């Protein structure tokens, strides 16, 4: 399992819009790519930063998405973020996560 992380600095009030966009616009983009296994959108409690975390079965699939899908996602997130967001790919070396409850965006 591989994880792709996009760290973002949010515009004031951008967290709620980003959360909605993740579900309505970003998730459909991610689902088009082979190996996509899930996604998390995390917004800091102070509303200043966010993480977009996507899960991938194989490194090659994460890299393919990184090359072919990132531009579309960055276009969506730029409405809610400031500055440049650079994705990074990580190897999952340990996890106890099976399912997590999520709070829906207001």
What is the rounded distance in angstroms from the CA atom of residue 86 to the CA atom of residue 104? 26
Give DSSP secondary structure letters for 17-64: HHHHHIIIIIHHHHHTSTTEEEEEEEE-TTSSEEEEEEEESSHHHHHH
pLDDT for position 74? 94
Residue 29 in domain: yes
Kindly report whether the global pTM for this prediction surpasses the value 0.95: no
Counting as low any pLDDT under 70, the low residues of the chain are 98-106
Total domains in the fold of the chain: 1
Residue 47 in domain: yes
pLDDT for position 7? 95
Residue 17 in domain: yes
Contact yes or no for 22/41 (Cβ under 8 A): yes
Residue 6 in domain: yes
pLDDT for position 32? 96
pLDDT for position 25? 96
Cα 86 from chain centre = 11
Q: Containing domain of residue 40, as a range?
A: 2-91
Entry field: residues in the chain: 106
DSSP secondary-structure letter at 72? H
CATH number at 75 reads 3.30.70.100
pLDDT for position 101? 52
């Amino acid at each position: 399992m591989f994880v792709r992380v996009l760290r973002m600095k949010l515009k004031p009030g951008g967290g709620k819009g980003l959360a909605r966009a993740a579900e309505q616009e970003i998730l459909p983009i991610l689902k088009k790519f082979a190996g996509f296994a899930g996604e998390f959108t995390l917004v800091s409690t102070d509303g200043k930063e966010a993480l977009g975390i996507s899960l991938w079965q194989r490194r090659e699939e994460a890299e393919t998405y990184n090359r072919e899908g990132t531009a579309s996602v960055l276009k969506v997130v730029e409405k809610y973020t400031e500055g440049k967001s650079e994705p990074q790919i990580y190897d999952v070396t340990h996890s106890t996560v099976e399912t997590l409850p999520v709070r829906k965006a207001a």
